[in-house]
Amino acid sequence: MTEVDVLAVFAHPDDLELSVGGTMLKLNSLGYRTGALDVTRGEMGTRGTVEGRAEEAKRAAEILQLDIRENLGLRDGHVFIDEESRIAMTRAFRRHKPRLVITHQIGDSHPDHNNIAQLVRECSRLCAMRNFDAETGEERIKPPIVAHNVFSRTVQPSFIVDISEHLDGKIAAIRAHSSQFYDPDSNEPETMLTGETYIDEIEYRSRYYGSLIGAAAGEPFFIREALNVEDPFALLTRSMNLYS
């Protein structure tokens, strides 16, 4: 079975863990089927190998309790909003039928990240168009809602997910990508991710966003669409716990 409720679509095998690992764990704990779509294999990375990073992604998926993890196989550093990429992404959406897609921030400084954010938005509509890529015979699906993780740009979040109970799991999943982070015994070149305090900084970031909602840790998201709130009292009184 490949259908999921939530599909996280990120460029490189460790991007999901750094951005929304806590949210994916929380969604799983709430009973939702969760999946990951890594768009590239990370072959342009300074450290590690494609094969090694695939094994790390598999270990991280186990920690995050993902129901599926798939790699779309687009070229690292060369992800564009072209017809090949739109077809590949649309087919993945139709195959997995997510109701919610979580992805990169619009305007991210990494070109793959930024292009994927836009690609996801386009394909979330193309997957509902009967005559787009119709020759495969795949059934069109209802457009999933798209939520963008706030990571590299200063943006007022639409909402913040309380990941207090899942912060340790998020950090463990990040550390599963051992080739990409601090290793005092490594002889490979240094990158912006390999500093001794980098993973600590990710934790501090989670704790900062948690502090905005009166929680120990949080992950922020931005959506372009208006939220349809069924119970405004429950939503707003929960938000007001910060002031109690």
**Homologous superfamily (CATH) for 6-243:** LmbE-like (3.40.50.10320)
As beta bridge partners, residue 6 has 34, 100
**Helix extents (H) in 30-150:** 50-64, 83-96, 111-126
**What are 178's two structure tokens?**
């051992």
* pLDDT score recorded for residue 117: 98
* pLDDT score recorded for residue 236: 84
**What are 139's two structure tokens?**
């059934």
| pLDDT (tens place) for every residue of the chain, 244 residues total | 699 999 999 999 999 999 999 999 999 999 999 999 999 999 999 998 999 999 999 999 999 999 999 999 999 999 999 999 999 999 999 999 999 999 999 999 999 999 999 999 999 999 999 999 988 888 899 999 999 999 988 899 999 999 999 999 999 999 999 999 999 988 899 998 999 999 999 999 999 999 999 999 999 999 999 999 999 988 888 766 565 5
* pLDDT score recorded for residue 235: 85
* pLDDT score recorded for residue 135: 86
The pTM is what?
Answer: 0.95
Q: Pairing relation of β-strands 68-74 and 218-222?
A: unpaired
* pLDDT score recorded for residue 136: 84
Give the number of other CB atoms < 10 A from CB of residue 205. Answer: 16
**Residue pointed to by tokens 């501090």:** 204
* pLDDT score recorded for residue 242: 60
Going by C-alpha positions, the residue among 50, 104, 41, 52 that lies closest to residue 77 is: 41
* pLDDT score recorded for residue 1: 63
